[in-house]
Amino acid sequence: MFPVAGLGSRFLPATKSIPKEMLVVVDKPLIQYAVEEAKAAGIERFIFVTSQGKSAIEDHFDRLPLLEQTLEKRKKINLLSKIIETALPPSQAIYVRQPFPLGLGHAILCAQHLIQEEAFAVILADDIILSQKSCMKQMIESYRPGDGNMVATMMVEPEHVSRYGILTVESEEDKKVRASAVVEKPTLEDAPSRFAVIGRYILKKSIFGFLDRQNPGAGSEIQLTDSIQKMIPETALTGFSFDGERYDCGTKEGWLEANIAFACQDENMLSYLGPMLRRYALAHDF
Ligand code: UTP
């Protein structure tokens, strides 16, 4: 499930008419990275929780017959196969609306009727993860029934804890952190650890009963974290320390860094990126 119904206000005015999830990192929109990560994890059914003004996301995953014909006529076969690969078959893509931006927990609740499985994966497209193995694949491979709700986690700087859900660590083994609690956006003084929740989840279907009764929390939004916390007595909470670098593309700094990091993956781009960055570093003395 991809909740993509947020306002994206930190990226205004860019997000006035373009969904945040359609912001481009090098040559692909954020949401495409998220779908590719899910596909690499073996996922075959993609639910997008959208809202008004987000139709560009549906268009992006659709076939575009006119463009395809034109590229074919012009013998641009590489580009043609790229845009065909991007499309999702109608049987695999489902779009559902969140009528009001009431928070991530509420967005997930809007897709309740589409989930039959015991557990389902959630990916937040604005967290982009550069890794050898898809982060969601790592999570699914390591998931065991006793893990309950699983969240991706990473250590963050103390001054950043107030931006995240933070885990209270009960025990730590290998890549897994067993958490006895999670708190959304604590102050530095109140933060129980520096283990932050990142936008990848494997959630038990039973979460819907909790989301349905959840009162608004931090930011007056229905917070997913609050329902995960309420489930803990009966459903474990496991943090998974993934291998890879994560970039918060919901912020300008994170988005800019993601562009540099992904450009560095491409030898062609690297050949001009290095001299380009050195030129700016010299000119601006950083
Ligand atoms: P964010 O906390 O980044 O909120 O949402 P936002 O509205 O997208 O951005 P800002 O804070 O205004 O800049 C995290 C994820 O949850 C989704 C967003 O689309 C994003 O993927 N979300 C958030 C929803 O789908 N619905 C909501 O009501 C809130």
Confidence (pLDDT) at 214:
83
Residues 77-80: contacts with CB under 8 Å, at least 24 apart: none
What separation, in Å, do the N-terminal and C-terminal C-alpha atoms of the chain show?
41
| Ligand 1 atom nearest to CA at 102 | 28
Residue of 271 and 135 predicted with greater confidence: 135
In this model, does residue 217 exceed pLDDT 90? no
102 Cα: distance to centroid of ligand 1 (angstroms): 9
In this model, does residue 218 exceed pLDDT 90? no
Q: Where do the domains of the chain lie?
A: 2-250
5 Cα: distance to centroid of ligand 1 (angstroms): 6
> What's the whole-number mean pLDDT along residues 1-25?
94
- Contact indicator for 128, 258 with CB cutoff of 8 Å: yes
Q: Name the DSSP letter for residue 16.
A: G
Q: Which of the listed residues 23, 126, 225 should we mutate to test ligand 1's pocket, taking the one with most ligand atoms within 8 A of CB?
A: 126
Confidence (pLDDT) at 240:
98
- Contact indicator for 235, 210 with CB cutoff of 8 Å: no
Q: What percentage of the chain carries pLDDT values higher than 90?
A: 93
CATH number of 2-250: 3.90.550.10
101 Cα: distance to centroid of ligand 1 (angstroms): 8
Angle at 233 between CA 229 and CA 238, to 5 degrees: 60
> What's the whole-number mean pLDDT along residues 173-182?
95
Instruction: Provide the 10 A C-beta neighbour count for residue 219.
Output: 10
pLDDT band at residue 58 under the 50/70/90 scheme: very high
Confidence (pLDDT) at 197:
97
Ligand 1 site, residue 105, Cβ cutoff 6 A: no
Tell me the pLDDT of the chain averaged across its residues.
Answer: 95
Ligand 1 site, residue 250, Cβ cutoff 6 A: yes
Ranking 44-48, 77-81, 218-222 by mean pLDDT, the lowest is 218-222
Name residue, tokens 């956006």.
Answer: 185
Give the 3-state secondary structure of 146-186. HHCEEEEEEECCHHHHHHCEEEEEEEEECCEEEEEEEEECC
> What's the whole-number mean pLDDT along residues 99-125?
96
Q: What percentage of the chain carries pLDDT values higher than 70?
A: 100
55 Cα: distance to centroid of ligand 1 (angstroms): 16
| DSSP helix, strand, coil percent of the chain (3-state; round to 5) | 40, 25, 35
